[in-house]
Amino acid sequence: MTTKDIRERIETLVDQGIGKTLKETGGIKHIGIDPDKSLVIMIIEIAKTGGEEEKTMLRQIAKIVKIEMGFKGLKVQFEETKKLESLGNRKIKFIIVASGKGGVGKSTVACNLAYALTRQNKKVGLIDADIYGSSVPRILEMKHEYPTASEDQKILPFHAFGIELISTDFFAGEGKPVIWRGAMLNSMMNHFFNDVKWSKDLEYMIIDSPPGTGDIMLDLKNLAPNAEVLIITTPHPSASDVAIKAGIAARQLKHNILGVVENMSYFINAVNRAKEFIFGSGGGIQVAQKLEAELLAQIPINQPKHHLSLFESNEEAGQIYDDLASLVIISE
């Protein structure tokens, strides 16, 4: 009998706390045999320790090791892994919306992309991580509410327009800013990933990031290693130069770049339907070329008809967001 034999038998056991086998969770951390004492020692990582799940697992392991395989002694050390439940471990497409510069329409694009994905029957989550200028709740026309907790002490996400979301804004008093430091941002993102009761069937998670290039992408490299970055720019060089820097920073952190969106690209003259490039032109294509990424959409300057900042499919910008959502879906 080798440790390999034991592993093969044990790894089919199901971690009841997460509903996956130990093979799937990679929960077998160590198996050792002390042949003199006929003793098996193992370290097993499970989603929840100290409860029925642990007792059941121990009984099943003891049955295999002692009764079926004939060892005299067994010592199992259980360790709880938060990581298993973490959002970052799930099969979700993470999209970090970044621009480097503020005011280019990052939050508007993030929310409209999320909304367009729900129109294609996708289950979408949104994390508003712009701690300095959180605007997602306003874009989604939400009233200020403090978060509440579920019975198992998880933060319940909010819902708007079919999107499941959490925002730093809800943790502050209404209309009040929070003074954040880098370290707090990191622990906030950890909470958003580990302690929010996100729906089990989320397919997309859009992350609206604060202006700047650094901190958040670094945190997300650990939390969601497969996250891809959507770079937002305007046609003007003042925005595209900074967007390129944000893209380079993303690359350095080994984040894949999903593509580039040029926002406020043009204005459609109501009289002759001509496109007027009032904020300049070429920013989007320049960013895409520099980052060797694709320019996925060019969004005109306009105001939505039905909502504060969200467009519907029967509007021109809404159609552009529908196309962007389709490109995001087929990019998998």
Ligand X SMILES: Nc1ncnc2c1ncn2[C@@H]1O[C@H](COP(=O)(O)OP(=O)(O)O)[C@@H](O)[C@H]1O
Binding site for ligand X (CB under 6 A): 99, 102-108, 135, 263-264, 299, 301-302, 309
Q: Which does 39 bind (CB under 5 to 8 A by kind): Mg ion, ligand X, none?
A: none
Query: What is the nearest approach in angstroms of ligand X to the Cβ of residue 200?
Result: 29
Q: How far apart are CA 51 and CA 43, in angstroms?
A: 17
Query: What is the nearest approach in angstroms of ligand X to the Cβ of residue 206?
Result: 12
Q: How far apart are CA 125 and CA 127, in angstroms?
A: 7
Residue with smaller CB distance to ligand X, 81 or 263? 263
Is residue 107 a contact residue for Mg ion (CB under 5 A)? Answer: yes
* Contacts (Cβ under 8 Å, ≥6 apart) of 28: 7, 10, 11, 22, 42, 44, 45
Query: What is the nearest approach in angstroms of ligand X to the Cβ of residue 133?
Result: 6
Q: Which does 134 bind (CB under 5 to 8 A by kind): ligand X, Mg ion, none?
A: none
For residues 207-239, one letter each, b for 16 or more C-beta atoms within 10 angstroms of the residue's C-beta and e for the rest, the string is bbbbbbbebbbebbeebbeebbbbbbbbbbeeb
Q: How far apart are CA 182 and CA 77, in angstroms?
A: 36
Q: Which does 299 bind (CB under 5 to 8 A by kind): ligand X, Mg ion, none?
A: ligand X
Query: What is the nearest approach in angstroms of Mg ion to the Cβ of residue 119?
Result: 22
Handedness of CA 15, 21, 26, 28 (dihedral sign): positive
Q: Which does 108 bind (CB under 5 to 8 A by kind): Mg ion, ligand X, none?
A: ligand X
Query: What is the nearest approach in angstroms of ligand X to the Cβ of residue 49?
Result: 41
Contacts of 176-185 spanning 24+ positions with Cβ under 8 A = 178/131, 180/131, 180/132, 182/215, 185/129, 185/131, 185/215, 185/216, 185/219
Stretch that binds Mg ion, among 35-43, 106-114, 141-149, 251-259 (CB under 5 A): 106-114
Residues 179-208 binding Mg ion (CB under 5 A) are none
Q: How far apart are CA 313 and CA 164, in angstroms?
A: 20
Residue with smaller CB distance to Mg ion, 78 or 115? 115
Q: Which does 263 bind (CB under 5 to 8 A by kind): ligand X, Mg ion, none?
A: ligand X
At which residue do the structure tokens 């707090």 appear? 184
Residue with smaller CB distance to ligand X, 108 or 213? 108
Q: Could you tell me the CA-to-CA distances from 105 to 101, 197, 319 in Å, in that order? A: 10, 28, 17
Give the interface size with Mg ion as a residue count (CB under 5 A): 4
Residue with smaller CB distance to Mg ion, 108 or 286? 108
Q: Which does 301 bind (CB under 5 to 8 A by kind): Mg ion, ligand X, none?
A: ligand X
Query: What is the nearest approach in angstroms of ligand X to the Cβ of residue 20?
Result: 37
Q: Which does 309 bind (CB under 5 to 8 A by kind): Mg ion, ligand X, none?
A: ligand X
Query: What is the nearest approach in angstroms of ligand X to the Cβ of residue 110?
Result: 7
Q: How far apart are CA 73 and CA 71, in angstroms?
A: 6
Residue with smaller CB distance to ligand X, 81 or 112? 112
Do 142 and 134 meet the contact criterion of CB atoms below 8 Å apart? Answer: no
Residues 128-147 binding Mg ion (CB under 5 A) are 130, 135
Residue with smaller CB distance to ligand X, 227 or 299? 299
Q: Which residues are registered as beta bridge partners of 257? A: 229
Stretch that binds Mg ion, among 7-15, 64-72, 127-135, 223-231 (CB under 5 A): 127-135
Kindly report the number of other CB atoms within 10 A of residue 91's CB atom: 7
Query: What is the nearest approach in angstroms of ligand X to the Cβ of residue 138?
Result: 9
Q: How far apart are CA 14 and CA 17, in angstroms?
A: 9
Where along the sequence are the contacts to Mg ion (CB under 5 A)?
Answer: 106-107, 130, 135
